[in-house]
Amino acid sequence: MNVIRAEHISKSYLMGEIEVKALQEASFTIKEGEFVVILGPSGSGKSTLLNIIGGMDQPTTGKVFLYDEEITGYSERQLTQYRRDKVGFVFQFYNIMANLTAEENIELATEISRKPLPVEQVLEAVGLDERKDHFPAQMSGGEQQRVSIARAVAKNPDILLCDEPTGALDYNTGITILALLRKVNREMGKTVIVITHNSDIAYMADRVIKMRSGRIIDDRVNENPMAVE
């Protein structure tokens, strides 16, 4: 079953007289349970695409569906609800609350969600039960990213959108974060979309969508995704 269907989405910005085409005629579907990497150099349109899927931005033309429901054309109010209930976000720089502990950060996410998972279950799944009373400043980058993944997962969203989730981490920590995202995908059944400029990350994906200059230039299934542990 398709979770996301994008039909000919384009996004343009006007910079004075000049039209910047951030995204041009992108069409794709994402199936339930897939782990998809969107790969491309800086400026190729990855964030624009992710922001549109995440309901943070609207395309200039084209349509996006979550299951059978069209999200393009949603009002601001509907978009806020969509971001809260349907989408989990993971960012490069974690974006967790500095004045809340790991556990409190996760609790906060469950409070705004309609069908949250139990906080304990999520803390355990991401390997943070021993660090749950720590504040972000007392945690390493990798641990903070675990909190951010836990927060996203705890909402029990339909899709997890990750923007360069290993971009601020050293290589080995990055691997453990990818392994965690894969676990969330395989064991908790979450559909995961990761955007990155790092082609190493693509090897572990079920599917790789490549972008250049606002266009999808390649979209293929990876028959043998590399295992990460």
**47 is a site residue for ligand ADP (CB under 6 A):** yes
**44 is a site residue for ligand ADP (CB under 6 A):** yes
**10 is a site residue for ligand ADP (CB under 6 A):** no
Among 95, 121, 138, 140, binds ligand ADP (CB under 6 A): 95
**142 is a site residue for ligand ADP (CB under 6 A):** no
Q: How far is CA 158 from the centre of its chain?
A: 11
- Paired tokens of 45: 């349109």
**166 is a site residue for ligand ADP (CB under 6 A):** no
Q: Quote the DSSP letter at residue 96.
A: -
Q: Could you tell me which of 80, 85, 51 has the C-alpha nearest to residue 67?
A: 85
Q: Which of residues 98-137 bind ligand ADP (CB under 6 A)?
A: 112
Q: Is 76 exposed, middle or buried (0-12, 13-18, 19+ CB in 10 A)?
A: exposed
**84 is a site residue for ligand ADP (CB under 6 A):** yes
Q: Distance between CA atoms of 2 and 117, rounded to whole angstroms?
A: 23
- Paired tokens of 43: 């400026």
Amino acid identity of residue 46, one-letter, is K
Among 64, 83, 122, 161, binds ligand ADP (CB under 6 A): 83
Question: Which of 14-22, 25-33, 174-182, 183-191 is the region at the interface with ligand ADP (rule: CB under 6 A)?
Answer: 14-22
| Chain contacts with ligand ADP (rule: CB under 6 A) | 13, 15, 20, 22, 40, 42-48, 56, 80, 83-84, 89, 95, 112
